[in-house]
């Protein structure tokens, strides 16, 4: 889930707790923490959890925090799937990415593993230029280079970069429509 970058919480079993792991010199053998907790990060994650609980109330009648959290996650996943499908296949008379000349969708059209983002490149147009043009129109996208994060995908496609369109920046079909109109103008 989206929270503070680089922050996570985990529960580990007793069996995993006892395995050899990085630890502070002379620290407790079963402690996996490597320093002082960032209370700001904890506060941020706590607000994310509260948001999920609040949102979940719209999708379940249960009073259980866990049930609300799960219901919120399922509702978000369904909403993102709708936005992703709109982005790929279009909406009414607004063509989707698959209908715009020169646009290539990484991962294909029917990709059941796709969640929350679509990455594209445009024939004969640098991805950095596309990101800049979209940004100038007030549309948020990101450049993804063929670095240690993405080269395993981009290199076989013979691409040095792509445009990463993350659904965390699009809340409605109307916002996706604005993106589609803008990318079509750029590609025409």
What span, in angstroms and rounded, lies between the C-alpha atoms of 184 and 168?
A: 21
Provide the residue count of the chain. 188
Q: Tokens 């994310």 belong to which residue?
A: 48
pLDDT, greater one: 5 or 52: 52
Q: Are 5 and 41 in contact (CB under 8 A)?
A: no
pLDDT at residue 129 greater than cutoff 70 = yes
pLDDT at residue 3 greater than cutoff 70 = no
Confidence of residue 4 (pLDDT cuts 50, 70, 90): low
**Each residue's pLDDT tens digit, 85-116:** 999 999 999 999 999 999 999 999 889 888 88
**Each residue's pLDDT tens digit, 37-72:** 777 777 888 888 899 999 999 999 999 999 999 999
Count the Cβ atoms, other than its own, within 10 Å of residue 68: 21
What span, in angstroms and rounded, lies between the C-alpha atoms of 21 and 156?
A: 36
Mean per-residue pLDDT over the chain, rounded: 90
Per domain, the residue ranges of the chain are 94-187
Six token digits for residue 21: 């792991």
Q: Are 170 and 129 in contact (CB under 8 A)?
A: no
List helix spans (H) across the chain.
14-17, 39-56, 65-89, 127-136, 151-154, 173-187
CATH of domain 94-187: 3.90.1150.10
């Amino acid at each position: 889930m989206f929270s503070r970058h680089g922050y996570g919480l985990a529960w580990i079993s007793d069996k995993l707790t006892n395995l050899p792991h990085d630890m502070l010199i002379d620290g407790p053998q079963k402690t996996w923490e490597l320093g002082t907790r960032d209370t700001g990060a904890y506060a941020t994650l706590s607000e994310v959890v509260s948001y999920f609980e609040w949102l979940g109330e719209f999708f379940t009648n249960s009073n259980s925090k866990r049930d609300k959290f799960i219901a919120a996650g399922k509702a978000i996943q369904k909403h993102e799937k709708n936005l992703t499908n709109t982005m790929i296949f279009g909406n009414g008379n607004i063509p989707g990415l698959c209908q715009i000349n020169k646009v290539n969708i990484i991962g294909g059209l029917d990709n059941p593993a796709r969640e929350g983002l679509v990455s594209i490149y445009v024939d004969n147009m640098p991805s950095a230029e596309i990101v800049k043009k979209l940004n100038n129109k007030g549309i948020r996208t990101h450049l993804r280079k063929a670095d240690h994060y993405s080269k395993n995908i981009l290199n076989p496609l013979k691409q040095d970069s792509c445009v990463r369109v993350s659904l965390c920046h699009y809340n409605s079909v109307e916002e996706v429509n604005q993106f589609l109109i803008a990318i079509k103008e750029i590609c025409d």
